[in-house]
Amino acid sequence: MFKYRFVCSNKEAAILNINQKMLNDLPCGKSIFGGNLYSRGIHFKECGEKIRGFYLDKSENKHGRGSQIRVCFTGRFVEENGNLFFDCYIYPRIIEVLFLVLVFMVFASGGKIFGFIMSIAVLLIFGKGYYNMIKETHNSLKVIFK
């Protein structure tokens, strides 16, 4: 989980921008199980006391096997010393992290040295993907809260 603080010069303009994005954020399809599929980019789910959403690096409708990995964010406006900030936590979905830990434990415990090396490789690959998505989410939020 990464914590970021953005300086916000105009809270009303930022909220208006978020509400506009939420209004225009229509799903680009339905999954096999009826869930909404979203396109690439930042998506807001809540804009009130807290602002919540997620980021996708690839469109979900182009990959029919399942949903893409997501980076979620939660934040709120904070005023300190007369300055307005947006404090935000950016993190991978908890269920995905738990699944990676489970895969790591299974491979590391059952596969001896080869399983341990493979589990480290899987963690590094997913870790780099999550890190890149967290950077992209940060950059997208920085544009909104300038």
In the three-class reduction of DSSP (H, G, I as helix; E, B as strand; rest coil), residue 106 is classed as helix
Rounded mean pLDDT, 7-32: 85
Q: For position 19, what pLDDT does the model report? A: 92
H helix and E strand count, the chain = 3, 7
How do residues 83-118 score in pLDDT, each as one tens digit? 999 999 999 988 888 888 888 888 777 777 887 888
C-alpha–C-alpha distance, residues 145 and 64, integer Å: 34
Q: For position 104, what pLDDT does the model report? A: 81
Q: 72, 53 in Cβ contact below 8 A?
A: yes
Q: For position 62, what pLDDT does the model report? A: 67
Give pTM, 2 decimals. Answer: 0.82
Q: For position 131, what pLDDT does the model report? A: 92
Give φ, ψ of 95 to 5 degrees.
Answer: -65, -35
